[in-house]
Structure 1
Amino acid sequence: MARIFRGVLWLALAAVLLLAGVALALHGWVGSDDFRQRVQQEASAALGLPVRVGGIDVALWPLPAVALSGIEVQSRPPLTLARLELRPGWAALLQGRLEVATLVLREVVLPQQAIDAILLSLQKKMQSALVSPGLQPKMALNLQPASAAAAGDETAVDRWLPRRALLQDVSWVSLKGSRTTVDAGMRLGADSLPEEASLKVTQGHLRGLNGSLRREEAGQWALRVEVGGGTVAGRLGMQRAPSAQGGQALVLQGQLETRGVEVSALTAPNRPLSGRLEASTTLKAAAATTAGLVDALQTQTRFTVKDAVLNGMDLVKAVQTVGLSRGGQTRLDTLAGQVQSQGRAAQLNNLVASSGALSATGNVAVSASQALSGRVSVSLGNTVGVPLVVGGTLAAPEVTLTRGALLGAALGTVVMPGVGTGAGMELGDRLGQGLGKLFGK
């Protein structure tokens, strides 16, 4: 028995020494300057932009991994990664297949300009490959789930898509220079869709947001987001379906409930409105890729804002002065309405607001560039509704009387000073709209 134990011990020791020798040899080869230069050349050729890699090594703790440090894609501005770790799937590796089990990114800066430059370069390379005669594609991309690998039909995308991803201190810089930094994690299932995911915003827009996504059943996920002192929670469904153009499309649907969220936390740094938001939202989108779902997203929301304050716009002053309103605030007891969105543009319909003697109704559109356009009718006490045009932007909204209302106010004041002003504004606005329609304006 003792002899057998000693034999097993010597075999184990020999295996450890062998693995250590292999690790040291691999570390020396991977860490060589020749290997680093080769990786730089391959990465530069793949992206179509110069790529610099500061160093490459083999990390043995806490799990074996290949780590690249000091990565810089030399776009303008550059895209940088302090550290990138790739941990292989050992079960697949023992079967002679290379799979990425875990991807770790640390201290990453992703300027939107750099992302656009990389995407443009990749698009040019793809177009060049398509028009080059005799050039055969090396890889076919499709939406087939990774579970097909068991049947021997696994795609290259599924093989290289990490089963687990960890992001630490990853920053996105917008075209205007604002920075949003997040920590995130995700684990994929056999079908290459998330089993669970988490996100925490540590800097910038939506700072303090904590979100989680968890698969409940096939094609169904539970979403919960803590933001602005409240929650957004509900269920999302995503499945593949035939598209109208042929092939497969991703179809996203969902129902979300918002409870007690501070509105200004969602729109920072702009704060056109503050108050506690209660809302019910349905959403849907269909696109060929997950990236395309953002632009294809359509939502419908019914909302109420409690203790609302409209910043940058004083509706009472606008009515009293019968003129331009810039700056100020409007406090509201109630604010309710509906929102319809398409991509990054939104339409606010059936707006109803009241506060003491003030009441207002209207419709306002928000463009993708955050420009405002619309009309509201404001009543103060017993005055007839004063028609106002909403303009400006979310950051600097403004309201003015319509041209027809201005003329009507002047005529009403002349005919019946004081009393006739409001009635004249309403009549003048209606006449203005009628003439506009008559002349096609």
Structure 2
Amino acid sequence: MSRLRVVWLGVAGCAVAALAVLAVAAWAWLPSQQEAATRLAQAFEERTGTEVTLGSVRWSLWPSPSLVVENVVTRQDNPIVADRVRLVGTWSSLLHRQPRVKEARFDGLLLSRDSLREFMAARTSSDAAPDPPLETARMLRDVRLVFDDLTWVDRRHVELTYSGDIDFGADGMPSRADIRRPDAKTQARMRLARQGDDTRWKVDIDVAGGTWNGEATLKDEPGAKGGRLQLQAALTPRDIEVEALAATFKRRSVVAGRASGTTKVDARGERWADLIRSLRTQTRFAAAPARITRFDLSRAITTVGAETAGATPLDRFSGIVETRNTGRGIEFRYSELKAQSGALSASGQIRLFNGKLEGDMAVDLVDGVVGVPVVISGTVQEPVLSPSAGAVAGAAVGSAVLPGVGTALGARLGHSIERLLDGESPGAQTQAPAKAGAAKATAKPATGEPPNPERGPSR
């Protein structure tokens, strides 16, 4: 027993001695902190075309060789800032004098739309040729990327915080990912899991009290129409609370309710950045029940736009929403919109860009009164709902002939005449009259919750 103990102590001593020798050798090969900072700054500038300042750089050899850099700031009008960056390597690569990163951890990273635009512009104009997509992917082979307290600042100067981790496989493609919005009021989390060796991922999204799950694929086909990289996804939103979804990304919605449907995602380009610039989505949705939170459609029609305050409860609300990255912001187009309730039905289309609303609707009051044209303008914060000039003039004439129903009929006729004089087809934007029914003199105003006076950022 004592002999085994002696042998064990001898082996352990040799192992400790060997590790000590390796540590001393590795330390001798490592540059000083100042030299490391200079090398890093030079390599970063040569690779990206952007200068960077480093507050401090220090090495650590236990339990794994690592390099910690603090107070990283790029020299730009809108700098990229990181409180702390930790790069973890492997002993084998270090002993072969070819250090390789197996984990990169970023704490307190600040990125903005403007800083990334400047960064990409500098890289494009630098002497070094940009890496092709596959070469960029190879740089991430078997690397784990971790980020905590990453703040993204969009073009509206709204800050969104993210945390997460991504594991890259042997080909540099993500094998799994877990990304979260930690400060969201309701859970907002996306998980990716690669399906075998294919560039295909299962997508699981928990957001706004519902799920948005599906599958995404990435193809790399040189010479393909629209760009060699092609990202596509098919997702299925289920029971998404629309107001909570908007609030998750610090936006506001004029519609409340739980929506379900289908989503298609498409992006194409020659490089990774092109995928973001070309990203398009299309979602067919339906919510039942739902509520328009900023105005009372029924009251707006019966008063010809004089009164709009209130809300509009709906039995059902459906349509298509498409998004497109324009380079100047995300454009939202809502089409085939259909709203139904006991008081009214409506259909139309809306465009939302940089916070401004543009659209039109045709509203049918209860019991089959014809479609009254309504123009939508203003902003998400303060939407404006009003009949067109021709509709207002027609409503005055209709009211003199026959109160209530005559007002609606006159508004519709006045708008049609206005469009005809402008050289447009009278039925180009508004729906055809509903089938005849028992008309009422006036529609009972819909009741609902008053609009929320709280202001917030909007597109």
Fold-level similarity (TM above 0.5): yes
Q: Decide which of 214, 217, 220 is 1:234's aligned counterpart.
A: 214
Structure 2 counterpart SS, 1:276: strand
**CA apart distance, 1:202:** 1.6
Is 1:335 equivalent to 2:317 in the alignment?
yes
Q: Is the 8 A contact 1:301 1:339 kept in 2?
A: yes
| C-alpha distance 161-207 of structure 1, shift in aligned 2 (>3 A) | farther
Indicate conservation of the 8 Å contact 1:240/1:251, yes or no: yes
1:219 maps onto 2:203 in alignment: no
- Matched-pair contact (CA < 8 Å) for 1:26–1:58: no
Question: CA–CA distance in 2 between the matches of 1:64 and 1:185?
Answer: 20
Would you say the 8 A contact 1:103–1:162 is kept in 2? no
Counterparts of 1:17-166 in structure 2, within 5 Å, are: 17-22=20-25, 24-25=27-28, 29-31=31-33, 33-44=34-45, 46-92=47-93, 97-125=98-126, 129=127, 141-144=131-134, 155=135, 158-159=138-139, 163-166=143-146
The aligned residue for residue 360 of structure 2 is 375
1:99 touches 1:162 (CA, 8 Å); kept in 2?
A: no
Does structure 2 retain, via aligned residues, the 8 Å contact 1:325–1:400?
A: no
Deviations along 1:276-329, one digit per CA (max 9) or x if unpaired, are 111111222221123222332333322111331212222122112102555532
Q: How far apart are the structure 1 equivalents of 2:140 and 2:260?
A: 42
Does the CA contact (< 8 Å) of 1:312 and 1:398 recur in 2?
Answer: no
| Aligned AA (2:113) | Q
What is the rounded CA distance, in whole Å, between the counterparts of 1:340 and 1:124 in structure 2?
Answer: 34
Corresponding letter in the other structure for 2:76:
S
CA RMSD of aligned residues (A): 3.0
Q: Shift in Å at residue 6 of structure 1? A: 6.7
Which one-letter code corresponds to 1:291 in the other structure?
A
Residue in 2 that maps onto 1:182? 162
Identity percentage over the alignment?
A: 29
Instruction: State the distance in 2 between where 1:94 and 1:22 align.
Output: 8
Change (3 A) 1:62 1:432: farther
Q: Which consecutive unaligned segments of at least 5 residues does structure 2 have? A: 429-459
1:267 CA displacement: 1.7
Give the 5 Å matches for 1:359-398.
Answer: 359-367=345-353, 369-382=354-367, 383-398=369-384
TM-score of the superposed pair, with normalisation by structure 1: 0.84
Partners of 1:249 and 1:116 lie apart in 2 by 22
Q: Is the 8 A contact 2:23 2:61 kept in 1?
A: no
Shift of 1:379: 2.2
Deviation at 1:390, TM superposition (A): 1.2
Q: Is the 8 A contact 2:133 2:272 kept in 1?
A: no
Partner in structure 2 of residue 134 of structure 1: none
Q: When the two structures are aligned, how many residues end up with a matched partner?
A: 415
Partner of 1:313 in structure 2? Answer: 295
Amino acid at match of 2:181: V
Looking at structure 2, the residues matched to 412 and 59 of structure 1 have their Cα atoms a distance apart, in angstroms, of 84
Residues 411 and 62 of structure 1: is their aligned pair in 2 closer, same or farther, counting only changes over 3 Å? farther
TM-score (norm 2): 0.81
Where relative contact order (Cα < 8 A, 6+ residues apart) is larger, the structure is 2
Higher strand share: 1
CA distance in 2, matches of 1:180, 1:211: 15
Q: Which runs of 5+ in 1 are unaligned?
A: 130-136, 145-154
Q: Quick one: distance in 1 between partners of 2:111 and 2:130?
A: 28
